[in-house]
A and B are shown apart, each in its own frame.
Chain A
Amino acid sequence: MTPEIGHYALVLAFALGIFQGCVPLYGAQRNDPVLMATAVPTAVAQFVFIGIAFAALTLAYVGSDFSVVNVFENSHSLKPLIYKISGVWGNHEGSMLLWVLILALFGALVAIFGGNLPLTLKANVLSVQSWIAVAFILFILATSNPFLRLVPTPAEGRDLNPLLQDPGLAIHPPLLYVGYVGLSISFSFAIAALIEGRIDAAWARWVRPWTLLAWIFLTLGIAMGSYWAYYTLGWGGWWFWDPVENASFMPWLIATALLHSAVVMEKRNALKIWTILLAILAFSLSLIGTFLVRSGVLTSVHAFATDPTRGVFILALLIVFIGGALALFAWRAPLLKQGGLFAPVSREGALVLNNLFLVTACLTVFVGTLYPLALEALTGEKISVGAPFFNATFGPLFLMLLLAVPFGPLLAWKRGDLPGVAQRLMAAAGVALVVMVATYAIAWGGPVLAPVMIGIAVFVIAGALTDFAERAGVGRVPLGTSVRRAAGLPRSAWGTMLAHLGLGLTLIGIVGETQFGSERIAEMKPGQTMAIAGYDFHFDGIAVRPGPNYRDQVATFTVRRGGDVIGVMAPSKRTFPARSTTRTEAALMARGFSQLYLSLGDVSASGTLAVRVYHKPLVLLIWLGTIVMVIGGTLSLTDRRLRVGAPKPARGKAAMQPAE
């Protein structure tokens, strides 16, 4: 019964969505407050019904109801509960259901927390949001129904792919989806503004928190996925420029650009048309990502051609939404008046430069991802565009952007003083230079470009701190005063500082891991020892350990440094009988920000075990940096000046702060 309830709830959500897509929109045209007000309850109800559908599918998974095809294909009665639940979104149909659930969640959030939005804007936003939901619910109902039954009911399921049975994967997709789909709100706001034909600084003030929220989750989701790949795939790779990764990275780049241009719009009422365009592009790239992943076009153009139902459906949605949005943009954008003039050298100018680099970087990834598909479709010729291409093109672009990062926050609005800013950054540049030379000396004869990149990273970090220290008065006033001043700085200033600092940390991690890492591959017998980067690994032996739905072959290594035992590492090979597959479980040991990484290969006929040992210097900074960025984003999100309709301060004085 439960799956049928879920199916029915989804159909109801679809019908409600059509209502929500039409009535408030019509109400906004007629300026009828009653019709417009219907948007709020329908948006909430739509979320509730999709929630019921999602809960029904989850119940089928938890109860191992193998009469449902989707559960049969992706679950197993012996699977731990957490993976029964994560199995819901570990497959195509379920993940699409999660997609629309989050879409409706954002719609409901705007309905509930958007009390201070102008009535017409709110009605239009919720209608546009609902059209997206309608389209994707239709996609699920027509091509990817997760509630289909199977007769006769099988006794046991086929189990979830073992690689997906991992805590990292239980939370990675929801995080990423919240980010991906959260960008739909900025999109809906942009379309609503175009429909109304008016837009002002307040619009940016409403859009920015939503974009920031989506950006935070997208950042977390990408970082989480990267760390998962790092510890799961057994060779410590953490970014592969894979089309699927690129699909999530492109919206991130544009969302980052959007966050920066929305600041300009909010503070200076400039860059309006550009900000609208970015809001449209960010979500369009999310849709393109969904198409790339969901249509099978990545596996091969031919696979797409043999079973095109889903792919063609999503492609049609892409054309309707992206094409429609861009057409509306072309038609209405000229009506929007530009305001807020500024000189090229100014905070606005710096943010425009930031946008130029981010958009170019995004288009580079876009071209690199789609070029092979397009070339094959047009000429039949097959080429590969992989990591070496992206490193050679995206890398330099991003390094140039990073060099400019410290200048932005130091420049004044309207008209900046570049030589003055350069002078204030002398200390940061000096620190960076010293670190660069030191790195070069320590790693004598090592990679030549690596110290330069470390220098750039240190410049970004020191630059972020420079602005902050100046505003807190470090060195000019007593330490206690400057600490108090720093604590009193607006949270958005903290956010900027931390986000830029995190970027520098991530770059240090990337350079450390890729340029200074070492690895050794050898065949070992119990009792033998292998050395890498000053650490000795003594192979103690192998034991078999049973798990709930798998069997572990665990190898134990004692790790020594300079003769002292510092720990035991136990990598294993995990066999899942249900799918008769084996996966490698690497062992990781953190040493400061660096890691030792140990993974097992095959056992040879002679009884030796293939062992891979990696030393990955500073690798943890890659993810630590992203976490610092996320903390920065969160602080900025809680800045009361960014929340529309924040309660009035106790004393009227705080409201008089100068706009930053």
Chain B
Amino acid sequence: MRWLRLVAILLVLGPASQAPAVQPDEILKDPAQEARARELSKQLRCMVCQNQSIDDSDAPLARDLRILVRERLQAGDSNSQVLDFLVQRYGEFVLLRPRLHWRTALLWLAPPVLLIGGGLILLMLARRRRGAGPVDAALPQGGALTPDEERRLAGLMKPEDR
């Protein structure tokens, strides 16, 4: 259903976002710095696109941001300094991986809490169940049979010809 997203992109944001992003003239000479730039680009959002990193988007803003990231790296910034700089300028929205903060605590804590909490509940249930009695085969339930079921049962119980 990605196509629906593309419809949205094309309807709302104009024909952008196909075609790959990084242009040959943006690439830095130093391969190590370029690799860091790519790594950072994947974590930064193209703010005019829908859920695309600046590494994926060919929108003009994304290009400006890619160049900005590379300029900061050339100026000697560390990765986290570059991210800080961009957050200061554009807000938390620019980060595709939100930082841990009280506003995002629920987001980050949900998976481990669910897993551990779910596991504990299961353990408790298992313990309670063990005390409940011997392991027994499934017992039929649901009360008396309806006339319809009686008929079906009679049909099934008819002696087979083999």
> A646 within 8 Å of B by Cβ?
no
Task: Enumerate chain B residues within 8 angstroms of A233, measured Cβ to Cβ.
Answer: 18
Nearest Cβ on chain A to B46's Cβ, whole angstroms: 10
Nearest Cβ on chain B to A307's Cβ, whole angstroms: 12
> B5 within 8 Å of A by Cβ?
yes
A383 touches B3 (CB 8 A): no
Cα A95 to Cα B135 in complex, Å, equals 50
B162, closest chain A residue (CB): A652
B19 touches A339 (CB 8 A): no
Task: Enumerate chain A residues within 8 angstroms of B110, measured Cβ to Cβ.
Answer: 363-364, 367
What is the size, in residues, of chain B's interface with A at 8 Å between Cβ atoms? 70
Cα A169 to Cα B53 in complex, Å, equals 24
B124-154 CB mask vs A (1 if < 8 Å, else 0) is: 0010011011111111111100101100100
B53 touches A386 (CB 8 A): yes
Task: Enumerate chain B residues within 8 angstroms of A364, measured Cβ to Cβ.
Answer: 110-111, 114
> B7 within 8 Å of A by Cβ?
yes
> B60 within 8 Å of A by Cβ?
no
Task: Enumerate chain A residues within 8 angstroms of B132, measured Cβ to Cβ.
Answer: 341
Task: Enumerate chain A residues within 8 angstroms of B96, measured Cβ to Cβ.
Answer: 384-389
A389, closest chain B residue (CB): B97
Cα A547 to Cα B104 in complex, Å, equals 51
A234 touches B18 (CB 8 A): yes
Nearest Cβ on chain B to A253's Cβ, whole angstroms: 13
Contact flag A200-B98 (CB < 8 Å), given A161-B6, A244-B4, A581-B15: no
Q: Which of B21, B45, B141, B143 contacts A235 (CB 8 A)?
A: B21
Q: Which listed segment binds B: A184-192, A351-359, A436-444, A619-627? A: A351-359
Task: Enumerate chain B residues within 8 angstroms of A296, measured Cβ to Cβ.
Answer: 8
What is the size, in residues, of chain A's interface with B at 8 Å between Cβ atoms? 92
Task: Enumerate chain B residues within 8 angstroms of A232, measured Cβ to Cβ.
Answer: 18
Q: Which of B3, B22, B123, B139 contacts A344 (CB 8 A)?
A: B123
> A470 within 8 Å of B by Cβ?
no
B1 touches A299 (CB 8 A): no
B141, closest chain A residue (CB): A337
Q: Which residues of chain B from 6 to 32 have a CB within 8 Å of any chain A CB?
A: 6-8, 10, 12, 15, 18-25, 27
A219-236 CB mask vs B (1 if < 8 Å, else 0) is: 000000100110011110
Task: Enumerate chain B residues within 8 angstroms of A198, measured Cβ to Cβ.
Answer: 141-143
Q: Which of A90, A163, A339, A397 contacts B18 (CB 8 A)?
A: A163
Q: Which of B1, B25, B93, B104 contacts A245 (CB 8 A)?
A: B1
B12 touches A360 (CB 8 A): no
Nearest Cβ on chain A to B126's Cβ, whole angstroms: 4
B118, closest chain A residue (CB): A356
Cα A237 to Cα B162 in complex, Å, equals 61
Task: Enumerate chain B residues within 8 angstroms of A383, measured Cβ to Cβ.
Answer: 92-93, 95, 98, 103-104
Task: Enumerate chain B residues within 8 angstroms of A298, measured Cβ to Cβ.
Answer: 5, 8, 50
A601 touches B146 (CB 8 A): no
B24 touches A521 (CB 8 A): yes
> A40 within 8 Å of B by Cβ?
no
Q: Which of B43, B50, B106, B143 contacts A299 (CB 8 A)?
A: B50
Q: Which of B6, B7, B98, B122 contacts A384 (CB 8 A)?
A: B98
A368 touches B107 (CB 8 A): yes
26 contacts between A and B (CB under 8 A): A33-B148, A118-B146, A120-B146, A164-B6, A198-B141, A234-B19, A234-B20, A235-B56, A240-B51, A243-B51, A244-B5, A245-B1, A268-B138, A339-B139, A340-B137, A341-B134, A341-B135, A344-B122, A344-B123, A363-B110, A384-B92, A385-B96, A387-B53, A521-B24, A523-B24, A581-B15
Contacts A200-B141, A385-B107 known; list 8 others, CB within 8 Å.
A120-B148, A163-B6, A233-B18, A244-B5, A245-B2, A270-B138, A384-B93, A386-B45
The 10 tightest CB contacts between A and B, nearest first, are: A386-B96, A269-B138, A388-B97, A235-B20, A198-B142, A364-B111, A344-B126, A382-B93, A339-B138, A244-B5
